[in-house]
């Protein structure tokens, strides 16, 4: 019998990205061995800040063409104290999102049993949200510029570009996610009172796409009021769709509310499946804790599970999620969640659970 085979591009990146990606790979190998129904072929790439500092480029020429041949991309994190953040964003991350038309970024956020969430514990216990963040345009369009640089007349502009097609495909995906979930509830976040063009377009597109989803209940929120609602009435929310910038900010808040950024994962998807999608933790390279074997590897493991689901290995995905969740429920966690285990120890626990479950 020939096994289903999947080619996975792995970009561990920098800092703790390297540690948590190694952990996720171990778990993937454990589930592959446990089930024996598919084979993962890993293609590892050294794109990242070390390469940038040595060669002046985050990745070699033709890198996007290499990645294009993979079935999915597993990503760690990039960033370096010596390199301004916008360079890795604009050289590595945004080109992938744009070239591979990963036009939605999906970030589930839930409070898992066994986790003591922050301050508002009682209010957020049991919450379970999914954020759909627009991932290819909006405030991160890269349009704009600077004139009269250095003089008192200097003007710097960032142009947020929203296209009807770009907003619509994201909105449609968000409605589909909402429809697939039990509560069938979608909140559309904008700032259309202050941003008169692009975000008014968002509101209009939301209203028109909603007509195709009569079974989904939806409402609109301004992003400022949304932060308050997330903290004060978290259970009134379920699926949330937001622009690139707003989605970025709100999902950090969601990660903090749900206990630790160390368990938050994210998928940059091309829902048409014409291009590889990318799976990564929400957190960055976190140089403050790098090399200390204390980074929480669970976000990277959840990313790997979501990747398995996307490539059609649902059974393996569920197994990895259950193993990682059980390690959390059992208190076998790193210090960000109040535990005593190291990155390597948590990984060993999760691999053992994958073998036993």
Map the footprint of ligand ATP across residues 163-222, applying CB under 6 A: none
Please tell me whether residue 351 binds ligand ATP under the rule CB under 6 A: no
27's contact among ligand ATP, Mg ion, none, with CB below 5 to 8 A by partner kind, is: none
User: What pairing do the DSSP bridges indicate for beta strands 4-13 and 38-45?
Assistant: parallel
Q: Could you tell me the smallest distance in angstroms from the CB atom of residue 349 to ligand ATP?
A: 16
- The closest alpha carbon to 95, from 131, 61, 69, 55, belongs to 61
- Tell me the catalytic residues: 140, 191, 224, 248, 252
Q: How far apart are CA 59 and CA 47, in angstroms?
A: 5
Q: What residue spans of the chain are helical by DSSP H?
A: 16-35, 49-55, 63-68, 85-88, 94-99, 121-124, 164-180, 198-210, 223-232, 244-257, 298-310, 314-329, 343-356
Minimum Å gap between C-beta 282 and ligand ATP is: 8
Segment 10-69, which members bind Mg ion (CB under 5 A)? none
13, 79, 198, 247: residue in contact with ligand ATP (rule CB under 6 A): 79
Q: Which does 201 bind (CB under 5 to 8 A by kind): Mg ion, ligand ATP, none?
A: none
The interface partner of residue 315, options being Mg ion, ligand ATP, none and the CB cut-off 5 to 8 Å by kind, is: none
Beta strands in 210-254 (DSSP E): 217-222, 239-242
CA distance 242 to 158: 18
Binder among 247, 284, 297, 339 for Mg ion (CB under 5 A): 284
Cβ proximity of 303 and 280 under 8 Å: yes
Name residue 107's beta-bridge partners.
131
Size of site (CB under 6 A) for ligand ATP: 18
What are the beta bridge partners of residue 106? 132, 267
Q: At what angle do helices 16-35 and 314-329 cross, to 10 degrees?
A: 120
Contact residue for ligand ATP among 46, 85, 204, 212 (CB under 6 A): 85
Residues in contact with ligand ATP, shown as a per-residue x/- string from 254 to 283 under the rule CB under 6 A: -------xx--------------------x
Best CA proximity match to 270, nearest among 85, 33, 103, 42: 103
Helix axes of 298-310 and 314-329: crossing angle, nearest 10 degrees: 160
Q: Which stretch binds Mg ion (CB under 5 A): 115-123, 229-237, 279-287, 340-348?
A: 279-287
Contacting ligand ATP (CB under 6 A), which of 59, 127, 201, 286?
286
Residue 27 found at the interface with ligand ATP (CB under 6 A): no
172-186 as b/e, with b when 16 or more CB fall inside 10 Å?
bbbbbbbeeeeebbb
Task: Kindly state whether residue 262 participates in binding Mg ion, applying the rule CB under 5 A.
Answer: no
| CB nearer Mg ion, residue 29 or residue 118 | 118
- Residue 278 β-bridge partners: 73, 268
Which of 129, 199, 189, 165 shows the shortest CA–CA distance to 272? 165
- Give the shortest CB-284-to-Mg ion separation in angstroms: 4
* 133, 284, 305, 350: which one binds ligand ATP (CB under 6 A): 284
Q: Which residues bind ligand ATP (CB under 6 A)?
A: 16, 20, 77, 79, 85, 261-262, 283-289, 295-296, 299, 336
Q: Which residues bind Mg ion (CB under 5 A)?
A: 284
């Amino acid at each position: 019998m020939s096994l289903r085979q999947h080619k996975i591009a792995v970009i561990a990146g920098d800092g703790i990205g390297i540690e948590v990606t190694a952990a996720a790979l171990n778990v993937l190998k454990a589930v592959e061995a446990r089930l024996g129904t598919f084979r993962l072929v890993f293609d590892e790439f050294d794109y990242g800040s070390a390469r940038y500092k040595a060669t002046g480029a985050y990745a070699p020429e033709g890198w996007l063409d290499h990645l294009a041949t993979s079935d999915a991309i597993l990503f760690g994190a990039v960033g370096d104290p010596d390199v301004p953040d916008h360079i890795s964003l604009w050289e590595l991350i945004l080109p992938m999102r744009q070239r591979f038309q990963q036009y939605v970024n999906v970030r589930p956020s839930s409070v898992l049993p066994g986790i003591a969430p922050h301050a508002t514990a009682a209010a957020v216990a049991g919450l379970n949200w999914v954020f759909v963040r627009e991932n290819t345009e909006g405030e991160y369009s890269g349009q704009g510029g600077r004139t009269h640089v250095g003089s008192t007349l200097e003007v710097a502009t960032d142009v947020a570009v929203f296209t009807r097609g770009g907003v619509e495909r994201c909105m449609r995906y968000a409605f589909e996610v909402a429809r697939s979930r039990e509560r069938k509830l979608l909140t559309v976040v904008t700032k259309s009172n202050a941003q008169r063009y692009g975000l008014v377009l968002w509101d209009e597109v939301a209203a028109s796409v909603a007509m195709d989803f009569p079974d989904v209940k939806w409402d609109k929120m301004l992003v400022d009021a949304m932060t308050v609602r997330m903290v004060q009435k978290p259970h009134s929310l379920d699926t949330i769709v937001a622009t690139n910038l707003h989605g970025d900010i709100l999902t950090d808040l969601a990660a903090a509310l749900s206990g630790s950024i160390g368990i938050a994962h994210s998928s940059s998807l091309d829902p048409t499946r014409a291009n590889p999608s990318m799976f990564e933790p929400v957190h960055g390279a976190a140089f403050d804790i790098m090399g200390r074997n204390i980074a929480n590897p669970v976000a990277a493991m959840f990313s790997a599970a979501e990747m398995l689901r996307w490539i059609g290995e649902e059974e393996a995905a569920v197994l990895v999620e259950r193993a990682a969740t059980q390690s959390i429920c059992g208190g076998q966690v790193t210090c960000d969640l109040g535990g005593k285990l190291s990155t390597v120890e948590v990984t060993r626990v999760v691999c053992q659970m994958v073998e036993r479950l």
